[in-house]
Structure 1
Amino acid sequence: MGRCGAASFSHYAGLIGFLLCSAIMVEAQTGNCAWDINTIAPSLNSSGWTCRSVWNSFNLGYTLVQGNILSIILSAQYTSGWVGMGFSKDGMMVGSSAMVGWIDSQNKANIKQFYLGAQSSTQVVADQGNLQFTDFTPSVVPQGTNIYLIFQLNFSAPVTRKNLLFAVGSDTPIQNTLTQHSDKISISLDFSAGTLSASSYPSQLKRSHGILAILGWGVLLPIGVIIARYCKKWDPLWYYLHAAIQCLGFTIGLATVIAGGVLYQKLKVNIPTHRGIGIFVFVLSVLQVTAIFLRPHKDAKIRKYWNWYHHWVGRTALLLAAANIFIGIHVGKPGKSWKIGYGFNLAFLFLAVIFLEVILWIRRFKKSSGSPTPQMHPV
């Protein structure tokens, strides 16, 4: 009986292990795709599909027919606006062709190919592009909270690795005019092997470059300057805070420059104004750091000239950096939220400086006029 029980346990354990492995294999094949092909695309072959979760709510289903014909089902959560999937040679938006689907105000489903000739909406042209279709008619199927883009492409060679773009827009296209995307991603997918990786397009690096610039040049360094000007009555604490914050800001600024250099090498896009101002500001910041080690003693005759140099070089660097951040936001086109957020940050710093400057001049006026300090008298 003991042997029989052990054998039964081993048999059941093996069966359970097999079922678990089978479930894992099915999950690896189906991913997060939960559509019924017989409902949304009954004319397509229902077997041989691979499904991948590619980005946010975007799930990509695909199957290769004869090696060079690619059937695609792209699903995404949808309420309004548009959903798109693009094919790019280099992972960049410009020069790519995309399939875009949406539901218009008359509740009509639309799907069109767009050629992305440039970042301007006027050069994003409908019914043009490099994608070649089979006899299968592309379609859009809304179902529940999702929208499904279904199409089939015919390539001149067996399909292997492709650079793909996925994007969403918050505004519904009107008269086939595609509005600017509200979010996007670029990936690289090997359709033959099913492997997915980051694309050569450095979208995350662009975002990191902007965040570092705002944090270093737009937040920390201005705060360090404010401490140096308005907190000197807390000596020597103000100096240590000023030095620590400026060193941290300079380090982040250096990381910003490095990220910008990598972007310049990857994108091969020359933005001379933004790049030139950035390099000049970095040179000024290096001079500021160097000047700290050459600071004369308080009683030295040349100390006031050093102060003038240190103050005005720092202020010039911050003014140019603020302008350059706006230039970077403009050319990078990350969205209106970046302009609003950074504008709010500048407005807050500006109002804080005005308030502290008024207090500083009131104190200086009282000190120069010899106003007596109020004293308490016994009653």
Structure 2
Amino acid sequence: MAMLVLALLPLFATSASAAGGCAAEASLSSPNGNAYAACSDLPRLGATVHWTYDRAAGSLSVAFVAAPAAPGGWVAWGLNPFGEGMAGAQALLAAPSSSSGAWAVRTYNISGYALGAPGPIAFPATGLAAELGADGRVRVSGTLSVGQGASVLNQVWQVGPTVSGDGIPAPHAMGGDNLAAKAKLDLVRQTSTSSDSGGSDLARERNIHGILNAVSWGLLLPMGAIFARYLKTFRSADPAWFYLHVTCQIIGYGVGVAGWATGINLGNASNGVTYGLHRSIGIAVFALATLQVFALFLRPRKDHKCRLYWNAYHHAVGYAVIILGIMNIFKGMAILGVEQRWRTAYVAAVWVLGAVAVTLEAVTWSVVIRRREAEQHGKTLHGAA
């Protein structure tokens, strides 16, 4: 695997060089003459985005650079506060005038999967401008008011082939890179010389939030379930399995509460940015986990007639918390733009837990089968005697 990565590195370097990329545009400056604080090579359509985010003012100065799909075509970039695709995007679209050939920028509030007519957008925009470079790439720049405390925004971009005589952009291609031209714009990670430490504090809190959730819902709770399901099969492990199970669940729940609190704070600090599915799953996980913890105080005795129903409920809710928790961890990693190495590490941890569970499932079933055979054999001998 390492050799394969090394072999592909020259290809990536060649691709970046051909597209221009941030390294070739390092001297790009904003309209006020200052260099942008950060730059990112976008993963599709050979585009790049430069930006400076002023946390105190809530303003985002941005420059998007891409080549039209054909000479005389158009380029567009936007932010989507409602989702990750085109529907809901607040876009800046640059195209040449049919009469003068000068490039101009218009704003679009894209409510569906059609561009619609130009009009005001949710992020008030000023200083919009566009220019065609000698390399055939178009630079679209301006300043958007995205609100104070923004952290990660959804960005989308496109390029098209032509513009009609009345200024209407022709549809872009509907395959390949055009269908996947979306990514996260991480405002927290921008390199800034500002003395304001708010960005670094927010980045630190995001890291803490991710770690707490991964450890609690993603590792400790599954470990507690493994102790409860498999160790109790061995009579010598009773009641040790119960205390191990409860310890993992309580510690996991406590760490999860801390993660829940940091998530609420991050949400309050990200004005205008919502992740509905991630938030809904998080609420469900927290509510079900809270129900699980309090259910320990209502646990019937082993010989109680309701114990069977309580066990069914307890197991169903527990597995739901684990499945939803792991799903939401991956969702959160995508939102926060976590580096692939950390995603790989967490996937490896989940695979290890899964392998342990599968192995113990086979072992415990063999123990149960042998025990039943021994008991049946004993009953047979007793009956014959």
Q: TM-score range by the shorter chain?
A: 0.5 to 0.7
CA–CA distance in 2 between the matches of 1:104 and 1:152? Answer: 16
Instruction: Work out the CA distance in 2 between the residues paired with 1:267 and 1:164.
Output: 4
The TM-score with structure 1 as length reference comes to 0.53
Q: 2:293 is matched with which residue? A: 286
Tell me the amino acid that sits aligned with residue 116 of structure 1.
Answer: L
How far apart are 1:132 and its partner, in Å?
A: 0.9
Task: Work out whether 1:248 is the aligned partner of 2:255.
Answer: no
Does residue 132 in structure 1 map to residue 127 in structure 2? yes
What are the Cα deviations for residues 60-80 of structure 1, in whole angstroms up to 9, with x where unaligned?
88999xxx9444356758697
Q: How big is each residue's C-alpha offset from its partner over 1:311-368, in whole Å with a ceiling of 9 and x where there is no partner?
A: 7425413314422552575588436969887777656545543442232222122112
Q: CA deviation at 1:226?
A: 0.9
Superimposed CA distance per residue, residues 257-292 of structure 1 (whole angstroms, 9 cap, x where no aligned partner): 22233244444648473354134223223314546x
Deviations 1:158-207 (A, max 9, x none): xxx988989999x99654858222662337999xx953433499566455
Offset of residue 217 of structure 1: 1.5
- Hey, what does 2:188 align to over in structure 1? 186
Does the CA contact (< 8 Å) of 2:215 and 2:255 recur in 1? yes
Tell me if the contact between 1:221 and 1:246 (Cα under 8 Å) persists in the aligned partners: yes
Change in 2 beyond 3 A, CA 1:104/1:288: farther
Matched AA of 2:370: K
Aligned to 1:273: 280
State whether residues 284 and 313 of structure 1, in contact with CA within 8 Å, keep that contact through their aligned partners in structure 2. no
Determine which structure has greater relative contact order: mean sequence separation of CA pairs < 8 Å that are 6+ residues apart, divided by chain length: 2
Contact 2:76 2:158 in 1 (8 A): no
**Aligned partner of 1:82 among 38, 47, 53:** 47
Does 1:361 find its partner at 2:365? yes
Q: Matches of 1:255 and 1:205 in 2, distance apart?
A: 11
Output one character per residue of 1:211-247: Cα deviation in whole Å (capped at 9) or x when no partner.
4333211221111121222123353553443343233
Larger radius of gyration: 1
Distance 1:72 1:150, change over 3 A: farther
| Residue type at the aligned position of 2:186 | K
CA deviation map 1:93-148 (0-9, x unaligned): 9x967322257999x9x9966332444332543334524157x957599xxxxxxx
Counterpart of 2:324? 323
Distance 1:225 1:360, change over 3 A: same
Q: CA RMSD in A?
A: 5.7
- Taking every aligned residue pair, what percent have the same amino acid on both sides? 15
Kept in 1, the 8 Å contact 2:188–2:199? The answer is yes
Cα distance in 2 between the residues matched to 1:264 and 1:75: 23
Aligned equivalents of 1:320, 1:115: Cα separation in 2: 36
Greater shift, 271-280 or 224-233, is seen at 271-280
Superposition pairs of residues 214-253 of structure 1, within 5 angstroms: 214-232=214-232, 233=234, 234-235=236-237, 237-253=240-256
Q: Which residue of 2 aligns with 1:10?
A: none
Contact kept? 1:228, 1:239, Cα under 8 Å: yes
1:310 Cα deviation after fit:
5.8
**Contact 2:40 2:48 (C-alpha < 8 Å) held by counterparts:** no
What is the rounded CA distance, in whole Å, between the counterparts of 1:210 and 1:238 in structure 2?
29
Query: Is the Cα contact below 8 Å between 1:84 and 1:166 reproduced in 2?
Result: no
